Structure 1
Amino acid sequence: MFSNLAIDVALGLIFIYLLYSLLASIIQEMAARLFNARARVLTKALRRLLEDDDRSGDLGAFGRFTFFNWFYELGWSVVYFFAPFQHSPFLKKFYQSPSIRYLGENSASARPAYISPQIFSQTMVHLLRGTLEENQSETAAIRHSLTYNTLQLAPDTIAHLRNLFEDAHYDVDRFRANMETWFNETMTRASGWYRRQTQVWLLILGLGIAAVFNVDSIAIARILMKDKNVREQMVRLAASREPSYAAVTDTLTRKNIFHRDSSYFRQDTSVSMMLKDTALIGVYAILRQDAGDAKNVLGISRDCVTDTTGGKKELRCGFTHPYQKNGWMVLAGWCITALAISLGAPFWFDLLGRVVKFRNLPPQQSAANNGV
């Protein structure tokens, strides 16, 4: 076995980051389900696809700056949260189509979190052709709708649909295939939007968790470097929890809570891939217990003590560890923890596995691997 101070300290920190990253991911997933976040991102993608949703021009010269655009988009996100079809008449009609409306789970989650490319193209064809008149072909009906823009589509959207129809040489099946390709390209971008949104929430949750649980990276690193007994206990705790965390991480990845690629909106997560909320709560309880064990090993906590200085009894609450006397250093330690949590549990789990594997190598083999 190969072991030294730096590796053991790194192993302890990685275990802490993995533990609280898993905890943050579970909380974020619960919040995402509560607010139907996936369905909202899908609606945003369809709005961009079908309604030319680009309002950066409203800012004038300020629209060139990312800073102003970010706040502007944030404002519209609040508007769309309460009124998802604001200024989007065709999008509302799209969601009211039977093929889309009945994909929602229930009245509280009326909009689906996933639409297949085939359902998208089928719904678009149904809307474009409308009710066929006697002896009218489907191709003629779609061509008439696109030529005269009977659905009042946005300029860029109708122009693109006309191009797709012409590229298909007015063949409906090829037109559907072209629309499915268009849809898939947009869903790839939507997956990136959701991942970035998740990372922002993990950063916010990470800071909250660091403050609530007092996960001070700077103090933890100092404790692990100075106290051999604590360091050994943390290493044993990390080694004992790695197999169970492997099962949890694998399950959450398969259930699509963790995203290792950009294929989220191409998988049917509405039924077979959904993890029940009771299971999430069970995993949360296990992680809370592990967090308590790690906290006890490290000895970092807040407490209230009675101060009798000056002959008066005063109850003072605050940090009890000598490495947490400087409030600014504690805040910096929390911020480091939040940034680490935002990297996600899969990153820390993979890193933990590599460090544990390296640590368990015989000294001669580890030296050979390093070219010594």
Structure 2
Amino acid sequence: MMIQLIDILIGLSVVYLIFSTVASSAVELVETMARRRARFLLNGIEEIFKLARTRDGDGNAIRDVSDLVKAFYESAPVAALYIGDVEKAGKRIRVAHGELPSYIPAVRFAGAVIELAQALPGNVADDTAKALQSRFAQVLALALRLYARPQEQGVNATLEVQRDALVQFFNDNTERMSSWYRRHVQWILLATGFVFAVTFNVDTFHIVRVLSQDSALRTRIVTQALADMNVDAPPGYQLSCSATGDADNASDTGSDRTPGTASTDPDEQEALAEQCEKELREGIDRRLSYAASLGLPIGWHSVTPPDDGSGWWGWLVIIGKLLPGWLVTALAICVGAPFWFDLINRLANIRTAMKPDPEQEAAAG
């Protein structure tokens, strides 16, 4: 009885794992196509400059940092990371005929701030340039005050000390960007999981019922799952995207990937983004095919259409019965593939420890 329960949990976890990676791939695909990371990075840069609490000539705190952000993106260390022209629309920044970078190395952030704090930008009026220079100098002073020793601040701050302080200042603040991005993707992943649950009718309660009653199906799914655990890159679970500069498999696939891990060369960024989109589409197709090959109890073929003449009302009743199972599935998908991958491994170990060795069974018989 305990082995059967473990097998049901393994089968259910396989479903969640497959669709967690499908949903993660779909979210990654949308994010890649929409280039949302660049917007999150821009928002993070704005927050960093707001955190510096720069002040005007009268000593009043300045809340509008759009001028700083525009000058920052136009500086030589950052401008080399993207194509197009930076434009300011109200308080918003965008790039005409191009895209903002999705990644800015900390050393480039430091180089840009140092450059702008020491030299007047040549593409703005002198009075505005002086104000911008003063505000970037305040950002530099804050970084030194936080991360440099007292004797290395002010006029005693060497270029190396300034750069190191700004790098640490940027890295510490990008941790907040990561948390924003994770929360954003988590909500998107929940919505995506629900869409997949409805589209493929991945009803948790129906799956449990079928697995508890169909021993042949349960055995087939568990056997395949245990076999997949013994290979480095299970074909049904693998997620790979070269545009992020690494390859993730099921053991580390999740929804907390932070903005910007790609190459800093614009042409290479575009090529990697296109390759990423291709790989993600192929990954989604591969995992859905894998799910179909296992014969998982999902899909609308098991739902009997209303034949009592109730029409759309009958369908509403059916959907109402399926809704709880869809919601549970969406929440399970939102947990992420790493959790389900690890759980399958743990359940497999428990199952192996509990199940008698065949030779011992034969001897006992």
Structures share a fold, TM > 0.5? yes
Determine if contact 1:22/1:345 at 8 Å carries over to the other structure: yes
Match of 1:92 among 49, 70, 78: 70
- 2:81 aligns with 103
Determine if contact 1:51/1:91 at 8 Å carries over to the other structure: no
Determine if contact 1:11/1:352 at 8 Å carries over to the other structure: yes
Q: 1:159 to 1:100 in 2, by over 3 A?
A: closer
1:172, CA displacement in angstroms?
2.4
RMSD of aligned alpha carbons: 4.0
Deviations 1:70-101 (A, max 9, x none): xxxxxxxxxxxxxxxx8611101111123212
1:36, CA displacement in angstroms?
0.9
Match of 2:355 among 359, 363, 368: 363
1:276, CA displacement in angstroms?
2.7
1:362, CA displacement in angstroms?
6.2
Q: Work out whether 1:160 is the aligned partner of 2:149.
A: no
1:23, CA displacement in angstroms?
0.5
1:114 is paired with a residue of what secondary structure?
coil
- 1:202 aligns with 189
Match of 2:332 among 329, 336, 340: 340
Matching residue's letter, 2:79: R
Q: 1:12 to 1:245 in 2, by over 3 A?
A: farther
Unaligned 5+ segments in structure 2 are 54-63, 85-95, 122-126, 358-365
Match of 1:226 among 196, 213, 220: 213
Matching residue's letter, 2:111: Q
1:118, CA displacement in angstroms?
0.9
1:328, CA displacement in angstroms?
3.5
Determine if contact 2:197/2:203 at 8 Å carries over to the other structure: yes
194-203 vs 221-230, which moves further: 221-230
Q: Distance in 2 between matches of 1:292 and 1:170?
A: 63
Deviations 1:211-250 (A, max 9, x none): 1111111111122123323322322343355447546547
2:135 is paired with a residue of what secondary structure?
coil
1:180, CA displacement in angstroms?
0.7
Unaligned 5+ segments in structure 1 are 55-85, 133-144, 366-372
Alignment of 1:280-295 (within 5 A): 280-294=280-294
Q: Work out whether 1:328 is the aligned partner of 2:320.
A: yes
Matching residue's letter, 1:130: A
Q: Distance in 1 between matches of 2:188 and 2:159?
A: 42
Q: 1:94 to 1:150 in 2, by over 3 A?
A: closer
Q: 1:268 to 1:276 in 2, by over 3 A?
A: closer
TM-score normalised by L of structure 2 = 0.70
1:16, CA displacement in angstroms?
0.2
1:325, CA displacement in angstroms?
7.3
Alignment of 1:174-193 (within 5 A): 174-193=161-180
Matching residue's letter, 2:345: G
1:292, CA displacement in angstroms?
2.9
Q: 1:332 to 1:27 in 2, by over 3 A?
A: same
Matching residue's letter, 1:163: R
Matching residue's letter, 1:172: L
Deviations 1:312-349 (A, max 9, x none): xx988988xxxx97643421111111111111112212
Q: Distance in 1 between matches of 2:341 and 2:45?
A: 34
Alignment of 1:292-331 (within 5 A): 292-294=292-294, 296-298=295-297, 300-302=299-301, 307=307, 327-331=319-323
- 1:74 aligns with none
- 1:352 aligns with 344
Q: Distance in 1 between matches of 2:312 and 2:347?
A: 41
Matching residue's letter, 1:236: T
Deviations 1:41-66 (A, max 9, x none): 21111111013499xxxxxxxxxxxx
Determine if contact 2:106/2:167 at 8 Å carries over to the other structure: yes
Q: 1:200 to 1:229 in 2, by over 3 A?
A: same
- 2:201 aligns with 214
Determine if contact 1:101/1:111 at 8 Å carries over to the other structure: no
Q: 1:123 to 1:262 in 2, by over 3 A?
A: farther
Q: Percent identity?
A: 25
Q: Distance in 1 between matches of 2:159 and 2:233?
A: 50
Q: Distance in 1 between matches of 2:118 and 2:164?
A: 16
- 2:11 aligns with 12
Q: Distance in 2 between matches of 1:304 and 1:316?
A: 14
Q: Distance in 2 between matches of 1:7 and 1:223?
A: 15
Deviations 1:187-215 (A, max 9, x none): 12212222222111110100111111111
